[in-house]
């Protein structure tokens, strides 16, 4: 695949991430109006439980994607063994997990969650439909990884967008047409996910033709588990380290403080869309090429991501206080602005860290990323507790930012991706620190923060052109296209 196609893959991954978010923002009020707040709360909790149980994937989807990316395209029999072994394994694990999810969910919804009396029987009757989604989701993740192993990002994201949009629109339409009952809404969700699995499998049969369906290889099962088990450790620990700080905040500062932290945290996580899309795009390529080539890709891309993500993050930090003021209110902004500013800086660092993280996993060394996360657990919670005691919510944000900063440095060092090229990151690091310090120390009106954001956007753009060769090439190419279009118009 050419660099041009790699760029288009990145664009498709961005679109695939952004469209479901936009649709979600539009349909949430309709859901609350259409099925009622209690029912929507139950659906939200079901998604939370589903997310917890998806760790049973044990990294099988990424392991199979990594293996398929490395195998020759014409070795159809081995490719079939890898793919079908992963599918059958995830189907079995998904069924076991679905049964466990059904039992746990029955206890939680019966005894621990306060549900209106007129909804209890409906919730208990409908919950098995959500449990049925687990095996479908786990098979779907393998199929998605298999499509992306071929770097078919347009196809992968088309299916993903259709599934995400359908998963939000079809249940809502069913509620309005037939009934707002969960016995209508949840089966509609299952139907959409089943459609995604069938459509994805149909596409895989065309891509991997001829696909040998009735094969299962125990040798490949051990190989996939050997790789995937370390991936699953990272997949389990990273969200845990990102979210359990809210539990610590609630225990020390009270439940009210959790909302003041969780809203900026969600914004910071959403800001990493660009970094996530780039990592997804590069993973199959870095799985396929040699270590030297993968290292060169990581080193060259790090600067472009740091400056490109900085163009978004720097202005966002400066405008975050005003944004929270306009979006939620002055009181909330007063309590959460510093939290948002520190977390957005940390999200920028964490986004850059996706590249060496991706490099290590693509090159068959997921044990390193998992071990880094394991080593971080106790020091992080010790620092988190102490900084919350000293600084409140800002201390919690600082503890998370310190953790991801150390994590980023460790990943670059252990991957061997640090060289003289990383010196060009110093200007963008300096600009990000200036934006963060100014936003915290200098009180600004909405107009002033907007002007500061615009100035920082220009500063990051100029710095990217001056210090990052890839950004400079992109600027020159875009400028030539604009000039030509104006010349011939």
Q: Are residues 203 and 294 in the same domain?
A: no
Reply yes or no on whether the pLDDT at 485 is more than 70.
no
Q: Are residues 417 and 461 in the same domain?
A: yes
Sign of CA dihedral 44, 45, 46, 49: positive
Q: Are residues 318 and 202 in the same domain?
A: no
pLDDT classification of 285: cutoffs 50, 70, 90: confident
pLDDT classification of 50: cutoffs 50, 70, 90: confident
Per-residue pLDDT averaged across 123-133, rounded? Answer: 84
Q: Are residues 177 and 305 in the same domain?
A: no
> Is 13 within a domain?
yes
Per-residue pLDDT averaged across 252-278, rounded? Answer: 80
When the pLDDT of each residue in the chain is averaged and rounded to a whole number, the result is 84
Q: Are residues 233 and 212 in the same domain?
A: no
Query: Which burial class, exposed, middle or buried, applies to 313 when counting CB atoms under 10 A from its CB (0-12, 13-18, 19+)?
Result: buried
> Is 58 within a domain?
yes
Phi, psi (degrees; rounded to nearest 5) at 417: -90, 5
Q: Which of 216, 250, 276 is the last residue of a domain?
A: 216
Q: Which of 216, 244, 271 is the last residue of a domain?
A: 216
Q: Are residues 455 and 340 in the same domain?
A: yes
Reply yes or no on whether the pLDDT at 39 is more than 60.
yes
Q: Are residues 209 and 302 in the same domain?
A: no
DSSP state of 19: H
pLDDT classification of 402: cutoffs 50, 70, 90: very high
Q: Are residues 282 and 352 in the same domain?
A: yes
pLDDT classification of 489: cutoffs 50, 70, 90: low
> Is 221 within a domain?
no
Per-residue pLDDT averaged across 17-37, rounded? Answer: 74
d(CA 482, CA 308): 20
Per-residue pLDDT averaged across 84-88, rounded? Answer: 92
Query: Which burial class, exposed, middle or buried, applies to 72 when counting CB atoms under 10 A from its CB (0-12, 13-18, 19+)?
Result: exposed
> Is 485 within a domain?
no
Q: Which of 156-165, 191-200, 466-475 has the lowest mean pLDDT?
A: 466-475
> Is 314 within a domain?
yes
> Is 222 within a domain?
no
**Longest Cα pair distance anywhere in the chain, in angstroms?**
71
Per-residue pLDDT averaged across 316-331, rounded? Answer: 90
d(CA 334, CA 317): 15
Reply yes or no on whether the pLDDT at 5 is more than 60.
no
Residue pLDDT, tens place only, 411-440: 999 988 887 767 888 999 999 999 999 999
* Percent of the chain predicted with pLDDT > 70: 89
- Structural domain for 127, as ranges: 3-216
> Is 224 within a domain?
no
Q: Are residues 133 and 62 in the same domain?
A: yes
pLDDT classification of 36: cutoffs 50, 70, 90: confident
Q: Are residues 197 and 244 in the same domain?
A: no
pLDDT classification of 154: cutoffs 50, 70, 90: confident
> Is 488 within a domain?
no
Quick one: tokens of 8?
A: 């288009």
Sign of CA dihedral 9, 160, 40, 53: negative
Between these two residues, 417 and 99, which has the higher pLDDT value?
99
Per-residue pLDDT averaged across 116-129, rounded? Answer: 80
Full-model pTM: 0.78
Indicate the number of domains in the chain.
2
DSSP state of 110: I
Which helix or strand (DSSP H or E) is residue 136 part of?
A: helix 117-149
Distances (CA, A) of 292 to 63, 85, 147, 297, 352: 21, 30, 25, 9, 20
pLDDT classification of 459: cutoffs 50, 70, 90: very high
Q: Are residues 264 and 382 in the same domain?
A: yes
d(CA 471, CA 304): 6
Q: Which of 182, 216, 250 is the last residue of a domain?
A: 216
d(CA 351, CA 69): 24
Q: Residue 1's pLDDT is what?
A: 45
d(CA 198, CA 65): 19
Q: Are residues 177 and 239 in the same domain?
A: no
């Amino acid at each position: 695949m050419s660099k041009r196609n790699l760029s288009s893959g990145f664009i498709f991954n961005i679109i695939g991430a952004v469209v479901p978010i936009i649709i979600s923002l539009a349909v949430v009020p309709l859901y609350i109006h259409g099925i009622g707040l209690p029912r929507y709360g139950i659906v939200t909790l079901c998604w939370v439980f589903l997310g917890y149980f998806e760790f049973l994937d044990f990294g099988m989807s990424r392991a199979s994607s990594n293996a398929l990316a490395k195998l020759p395209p014409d070795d159809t029999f081995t490719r079939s063994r890898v793919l079908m072994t992963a599918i059958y394994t995830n189907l079995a694990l998904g069924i076991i997990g679905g049964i466990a999810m059904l039992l746990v969910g029955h206890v939680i919804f019966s005894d621990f969650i306060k549900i209106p009396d007129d909804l209890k029987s409906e919730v208990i009757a409908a919950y098995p439909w959500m449990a049925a989604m687990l095996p479908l989701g786990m098979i779907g993740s393998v199929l998605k990884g298999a499509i992306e192993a071929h770097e078919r990002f347009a196809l992968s994201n088309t299916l993903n967008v259709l599934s995400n949009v359908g998963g939000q629109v079809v249940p809502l339409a069913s509620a309005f047409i037939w009934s707002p009952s969960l016995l209508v809404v949840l089966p509609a969700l299952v139907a959409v996910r089943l459609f995604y699995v069938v459509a994805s499998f149909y596409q895989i049969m065309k891509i991997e033709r001829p696909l040998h369906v009735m094969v299962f290889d125990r040798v490949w099962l051990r190989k996939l588990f050997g790789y995937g088990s370390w991936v699953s450790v990272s997949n389990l620990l990273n969200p845990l380290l990102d979210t359990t700080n809210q539990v610590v905040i609630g225990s020390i500062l009270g439940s009210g403080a959790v909302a003041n932290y969780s809203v900026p945290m969600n914004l910071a996580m959403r800001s990493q869309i660009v970094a996530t899309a780039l990592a997804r795009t590069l993973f199959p390529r870095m799985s396929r090429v040699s270590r030297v080539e993968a290292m060169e890709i990581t080193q060259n891309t790090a600067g472009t991501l740091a400056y490109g993500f900085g163009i978004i993050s720097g202005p966002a930090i400066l405008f975050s206080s005003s944004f929270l003021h306009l979006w939620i209110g002055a009181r909330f902004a007063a309590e959460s602005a510093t939290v948002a500013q520190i977390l957005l800086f940390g999200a920028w660092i964490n986004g850059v860290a996706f590249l060496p993280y991706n490099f290590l996993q693509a090159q068959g060394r997921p044990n390193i990323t998992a071990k880094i996360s394991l080593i971080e657990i106790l020091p992080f919670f010790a620092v988190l507790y102490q900084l919350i005691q000293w600084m409140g919510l800002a201390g919690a944000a600082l503890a998370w930012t310190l953790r991801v900063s150390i994590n980023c440095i460790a990943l670059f060092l252990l991957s061997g991706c640090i060289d003289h090229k990383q010196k060009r990151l110093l200007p963008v690091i300096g600009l990000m620190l200036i934006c963060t310090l100014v936003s915290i120390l200098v009180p600004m009106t909405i107009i002033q923060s907007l002007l500061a954001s615009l100035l920082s956007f220009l500063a990051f753009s100029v710095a990217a052109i001056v210090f990052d060769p890839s950004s400079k090439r992109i600027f020159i190419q875009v400028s030539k296209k604009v000039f030509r279009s104006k010349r011939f118009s």
